[in-house]
């Protein structure tokens, strides 16, 4: 399976977030009035200026913008430092499609080193991200004014170097439209306001009008498989999931490089059950944005197709296959949500929290290791082959050599179209291996393990379709009988290479070119073992960090003024009721059976900088009217799934003013 060869724009845009976020709607109770805390009264305006735009010879456009967060510049709801205006230069490359001869992807990449650095610094505002995105679309993607002033040393404030027309000021967004007649959006998982949740949008392709209910049934199945059951279960309160149905004229998705008349034009390159591409990304982008102002964090396209296939990247792509759809989707979502590369051998991208290229001594997951001192688990990759071989053409052989120094081996393959036990044969050094069909035509996986090492010298694995099928006429309606991929490893004994999936160590992974990186576990993680429903501990920690860089643990602080009677005046305010609304995790999970053991929030209240210890561990407090002042709420989330939090993402705090004169009638 191919995966993310480029950053998705959803990922990349986070990088731009210069921050902000706070409460919006507040409930009003009878006899009680509410007010917005002072920080919320500031209009969420931002100023961006395009200072440089350059189209390079390869069609890449490089835009630099200055982002001046004039208003809500704060981190994790920390108040703005309004005197210190932030200037940031953000860049992005836009590959002009016309220079690619009509190629099917529109890649959006950021200068990744710089972007990553910014990302490390910045935080969790979707609002800001959207504003920057709109600005980039208007000013960078759609070239209007080529006579742009190259303002290298722009003094932002009233700078003469920048013309007014290149500066945009944003206020509140209007509602987003872009849904078409016949579209239907359903919110399948609703855990709170989109603006402070991580939102996934599933968009179907190749579902006709008549297949509307099949679409929603497929989406419910995928969501249940992934979010309600194991994989994303502990993270569920951070997610919203939306499904967008847009009827296609034709049913199914294209193959052999041709798409059908469908909403987003998904297609396979050939006939093999592997990558699925999108030929109309613009329509998909617009449709996703139309789902809601803050709803389109991770767009996902699901092809109405019963077989394996997908891709990571800007869009997470999978199929409705009831056998492999979930398997592909959770793996591809892993790439996008955690921003990690592969863990299986023979891929191209090995990056992110789960891959270490340089040093075992300073391995990224040192804090997770089973052993006090890091060590490498000893194995060797003997054969690795993306065969994509049509077995109709005759036997297929994979040859390899061993030096005779190893103790165990494991052969892993994937195949498709082999639906019966007599349809496929595997031989190792001429000896037939036991194999039973997993049933059906879909791509699937088989594995054999040997408890002895190979002798020194040459060895051979041979794959054939069952002899009785050799004269079978071609049936174009079903997937071909195909050998998809092969890996053969040799291992040392359990003392030097631990198969035990609870062990966290340095396990070698070899890429397409034989280069080695290390991963953290043998075959536990679904980024390696497609049958697994679990991420490894390192990926889970990375996922918490990633999600909490998009959403704050603290939704809002609500302050209600309680009056003795309801005839108005400030003087009648007798007390304040203050409530912190946290994303329901730990002790606040609605379903405590989903609570990870040891998971909890702790929190503290401060008034005028003084810790109010007696209020600790209350989420809703009452304070007398005399206790006006500058208050602060600080929360911290503790979970065994996170051992390190260098950016303080598991903390949230907010300063707010409690004062009678802020109570309205």
Ligand X SMILES: *[C@@H]1O[C@H](CO)[C@@H](O)[C@H](O)[C@H]1NC(C)=O
Q: Which residues bind ligand X (CB under 6 A)?
A: 41-43, 81, 83-84, 171, 306, 322, 434, 501, 523, 529, 531-532
169, β-bridge pairs: 47
Least distance (Å) between residue 501 CB and ligand X = 6
Measured between alpha carbons, how far is 662 from 22 in angstroms, rounded to an integer?
Answer: 18
What count of Cα atoms within 13 Å lies in the side-chain half-sphere of residue 652? Answer: 26
Helical spans, DSSP H, in 244-373: 281-290, 325-338
Would strands 457-465 and 444-450 be described as parallel, antiparallel, or unpaired? unpaired
Least distance (Å) between residue 174 CB and ligand X = 14
Minimum CB distance to ligand X smaller for 56 or for 81: 81
Rg (CA), the chain: 28
Minimum CB distance to ligand X smaller for 243 or for 327: 327
Measured between alpha carbons, how far is 165 from 167 in angstroms, rounded to an integer?
Answer: 5
Measured between alpha carbons, how far is 273 from 252 in angstroms, rounded to an integer?
Answer: 14
Least distance (Å) between residue 274 CB and ligand X = 19
Least distance (Å) between residue 234 CB and ligand X = 17
Count of residues in the chain = 665
Cα separations in angstroms, 265 against 67, 210, 279, 323, 398: 36, 18, 5, 23, 36
Least distance (Å) between residue 74 CB and ligand X = 10
Minimum CB distance to ligand X smaller for 169 or for 458: 169
Minimum CB distance to ligand X smaller for 84 or for 102: 84
Minimum CB distance to ligand X smaller for 40 or for 376: 40
Least distance (Å) between residue 89 CB and ligand X = 16
Least distance (Å) between residue 308 CB and ligand X = 12
Least distance (Å) between residue 284 CB and ligand X = 24
Minimum CB distance to ligand X smaller for 149 or for 533: 533
Minimum CB distance to ligand X smaller for 42 or for 600: 42
Minimum CB distance to ligand X smaller for 212 or for 572: 212
Least distance (Å) between residue 411 CB and ligand X = 11
Measured between alpha carbons, how far is 298 from 184 in angstroms, rounded to an integer?
Answer: 18
CB-based contacts of 374-377 (< 8 A; 24+ apart in sequence): 374/505, 374/506, 375/505, 375/506, 376/505, 376/506, 376/508, 376/518, 377/496, 377/497, 377/498, 377/505, 377/506, 377/507, 377/508, 377/522
What count of Cα atoms within 13 Å lies in the side-chain half-sphere of residue 350? Answer: 24
Q: What is the end-to-end Cα distance of the chain in Å, rounded?
A: 61
Minimum CB distance to ligand X smaller for 314 or for 442: 442
| Closest residue to ligand X using C-beta atoms | 84
Surface-to-core class of residue 492, CB atoms within 10 Å of its CB (0-12 exposed, 13-18 middle, 19+ buried): middle
């Amino acid at each position: 399976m191919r995966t993310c060869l480029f950053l998705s724009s959803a990922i990349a845009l986070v990088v731009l977030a210069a921050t902000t976020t706070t409460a919006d709607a507040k409930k009003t109770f009878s006899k009680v009035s509410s007010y917005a805390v002072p920080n919320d009264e500031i209009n969420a305006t931002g100023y961006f200026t395009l200072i440089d735009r350059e189209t390079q010879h390869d069609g890449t456009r490089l835009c630099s913008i200055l982002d001046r967060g004039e208003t809500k510049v704060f981190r994790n709801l920390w108040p703005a430092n309004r005197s210190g205006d932030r200037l940031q230069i953000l860049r992005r490359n836009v590959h002009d499609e016309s220079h690619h001869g009509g190629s099917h992807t529109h890649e959006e990449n950021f200068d990744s080193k710089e972007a990553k650095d910014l990302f490390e610094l910045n935080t969790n505002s979707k609002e800001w991200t959207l504003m920057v995105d709109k600005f980039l679309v208007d000013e960078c993607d759609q070239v209007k004014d080529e006579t742009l002033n190259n303002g290298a040393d722009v003094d932002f404030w009233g700078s003469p170097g920048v013309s007014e027309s290149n500066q945009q000021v944003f206020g509140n967004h209007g509602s987003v439209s872009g849904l078409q007649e016949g579209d239907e959006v359903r919110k399948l998982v609703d855990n709170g306001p989109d603006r402070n949740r991580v939102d996934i949008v599933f968009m179907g392709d190749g579902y006709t009008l008549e297949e509307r209910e099949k679409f929603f049934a497929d989406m419910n199945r995928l969501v249940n498989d992934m979010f309600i059951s194991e994989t994303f279960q502990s993270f569920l309160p951070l997610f919203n999931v939306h499904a967008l149905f847009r009827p296609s004229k034709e049913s199914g998705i294209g193959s052999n490089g041709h798409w059908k008349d469908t909403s987003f034009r998904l297609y396979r390159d050939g006939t093999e059950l592997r990558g699925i591409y999108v030929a109309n990304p613009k329509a998909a982008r617009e449709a996703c944005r139309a789902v809601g102002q803050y709803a389109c964090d991770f767009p996902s396209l699901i092809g109405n197709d019963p077989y394996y296939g997908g891709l990571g990247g800007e869009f997470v792509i999978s199929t409705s296959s009831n056998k492999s759809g979930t398997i592909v989707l959770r793996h591809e979502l892993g790439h996008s949500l955690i921003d990690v590369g592969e863990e299986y051998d023979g891929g191209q991208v090995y990056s992110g929290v789960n891959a270490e290229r340089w040093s075992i001594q300073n391995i990224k997951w040192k804090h997770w290791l089973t052993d006090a001192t890091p060590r490498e688990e000893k194995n060797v990759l003997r054969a690795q082959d993306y065969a994509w071989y049509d077995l109709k053409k005759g036997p297929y052989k994979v040859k390899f050599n061993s030096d005779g120094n190893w103790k165990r081996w494991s052969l892993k393959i994937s195949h498709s179209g082999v639906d019966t036990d007599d349809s496929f044969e595997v031989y190792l050094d001429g000896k037939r291996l036991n194999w039973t069909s997993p049933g059906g035509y879909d791509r699937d996986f088989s594995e054999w393990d040997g408890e002895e090492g190979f002798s020194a010298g040459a060895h051979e694995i041979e794959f054939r379709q069952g002899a009785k099928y050799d004269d079978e006429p071609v049936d174009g309606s079903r997937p071909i009988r195909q050998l998809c991929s092969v890996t053969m490893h040799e291992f040392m004994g359990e003392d030097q290479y631990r198969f035990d999936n609870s062990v966290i160590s340095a396990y070698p992974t070899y890429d397409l070119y034989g280069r080695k990186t290390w991963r953290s576990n043998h075959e536990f993680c679904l980024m390696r073992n497609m049958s697994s429903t679990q991420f490894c501990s390192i990926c889970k920690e990375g996922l918490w960090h990633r999600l909490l860089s998009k959403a704050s643990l603290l939704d809002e602080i609500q302050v209600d003024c309680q009056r003795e009677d309801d005839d108005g005046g400030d003087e009648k305010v007798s007390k304040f009721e203050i409530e912190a609304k946290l994303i329901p995790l730990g002790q606040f999970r609605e379903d405590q059976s989903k609570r990870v053991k040891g998971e909890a929030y702790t929190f503290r209240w401060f008034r005028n900088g003084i810790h109010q210890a007696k209020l600790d561990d209350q989420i809703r407090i009452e304070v007398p009217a005399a206790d006006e002042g500058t208050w602060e709420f600080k929360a911290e989330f503790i979970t065994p799934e996170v051992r390190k939090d260098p950016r303080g993402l598991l903390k949230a705090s907010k300063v707010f003013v409690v004062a009678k004169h802020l109570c309205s009638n």
